[in-house]
C-alpha cells in the first residue's frame, strides 16, 4: 500500500509539474496574445491615419483637377480671343498695306503730274517776252 501511495505521490507530482508547466506556457501565450493585440491596435491606428491621409490627398487631388480644368478652360478662351484678335490685326494690317500702296500710287501720279506741269510752266515761261534766251 505504501508503494501505491508512493506511485500516487509521483503521479501527483508529475501532474503538478505538468500543470505548472502548462500554467507557465499559458502565461507566455497570454503575454504573446497581449503583445499581438497591442500590435494589432497600433496597426489599426496606423491604418486609420493612413486612410485619413489618403482621403485628404484624394480631396486635394480633386481640387487640383478642378483648378487644372478651370485653367485649361481659361487658357482655351484666351487662346480663342487672341486668335480672333490676331485675325483682326492681320486684316487691319492688310487693309493698311493696301491703303499705303494706293497712297504711294497716288503720290507717284501726283509727282508725274507735277513734273509734267513744271515742264509746261517752264516752256511757257521761256516763250514769254523778256525771257532770257
Q: Give pTM, 2 decimals.
A: 0.51
State pLDDT tens for residues 15-48: 999 999 999 999 999 999 999 999 999 999 999 9
Q: 96 is written with which cell numbers?
A: 493698311
State pLDDT tens for residues 85-132: 999 999 999 999 999 999 999 999 999 999 999 999 988 888 888 766
Amino acid at each position: 500500500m505504501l508503494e501505491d501511495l508512493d506511485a500516487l505521490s509521483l503521479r501527483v507530482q508529475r501532474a503538478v509539474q505538468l500543470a505548472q508547466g502548462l500554467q507557465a506556457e499559458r502565461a507566455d501565450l497570454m503575454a504573446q496574445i497581449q503583445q499581438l493585440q497591442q500590435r494589432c491596435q497600433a496597426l489599426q491606428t496606423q491604418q486609420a491615419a493612413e486612410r485619413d491621409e489618403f482621403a485628404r490627398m484624394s480631396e486635394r487631388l480633386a481640387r487640383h483637377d478642378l483648378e487644372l480644368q478651370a485653367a485649361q478652360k481659361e487658357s482655351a478662351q484666351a487662346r480663342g480671343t487672341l486668335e480672333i484678335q490676331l485675325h483682326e490685326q492681320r486684316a487691319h494690317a492688310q487693309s493698311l498695306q493696301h491703303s499705303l500702296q494706293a497712297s504711294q500710287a497716288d503720290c507717284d501720279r501726283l509727282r508725274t503730274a507735277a513734273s509734267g506741269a513744271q515742264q509746261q510752266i517752264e516752256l511757257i515761261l521761256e516763250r514769254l517776252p523778256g525771257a532770257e534766251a
